[in-house]
Amino acid sequence: MRDIKGSNGSTVARVDSSGNITLGPEGGPIVGRATNAGEIYDDESGVHQVGRVDGEGTVFSMQHEKLGKVDPWGRVYDRSGSMVGKVEKTVDAGVLLLIAEPVEQTSSAPPPLEETSSLMNEAMELADAQRFPQVRKDSKPLTDRDLFMEHLRRDSSK
């Protein structure tokens, strides 16, 4: 079994040793076939060809439209040049672009944290309290007299 991974690293399809394609990380119904010659079919019997991968790693549809390319390390790029996944064999790039059809990611940044998050506010307050301890304003600073003279007076009274 060869795993075909999407841009986020999750398995979007699998190809077995016979070239049968199943979607997802688990076994399931066969949705297509990939041959060693680089032909991609979208049916189990291998009759309806939807595209091919040439010897240089370029993926073409049956309308001779260039859909993407796979580099020697197995990284698959769409026609805009953005990486859409990773494969083990070049023919698997055709499976990724023609059968599995990777999901377009609209934003790559994580959503911002909510300002009303009480757990986060509590954690930030604890961190600030540890880094910047509060000085009591009602107490006066200690002087040498407070430190040394008081200690001498107590000892002398004994």
pLDDT tens profile 9-33 = 889 999 998 999 999 888 789 999 9
Last residue of a domain, one of 57, 73, 100: 100
- For the segment 108-132, what is each residue's pLDDT rounded down to a tens digit? 555 555 555 677 788 888 888 887 7
**Number of structural domains the chain divides into:** 2
Decide: helix, strand or coil at residue 145: helix
Range of the domain at 53: 2-100
64/132 same-domain check: no
Asked if pLDDT for residue 107 goes beyond 60, the answer is no
Distances in whole angstroms, Cα of residue 139 to Cα of each of 31, 86, 143: 78, 65, 12
> Residue 145 falls within a domain, yes or no?
yes
Answer yes or no: is pLDDT of 4 > 70. Answer: yes
In this prediction, residue 105 has a pLDDT band, given cuts at 50, 70 and 90, of very low
pLDDT at 116 (0 to 100):
58
The pLDDT assigned to 119 comes to 77
Q: What does the alpha-carbon distance between residue 76 and residue 153 come to, in Å, rounded to a whole number?
A: 83
pLDDT level of residue 39 (50, 70, 90 thresholds): very high
Residues 86, 15 share a domain: yes
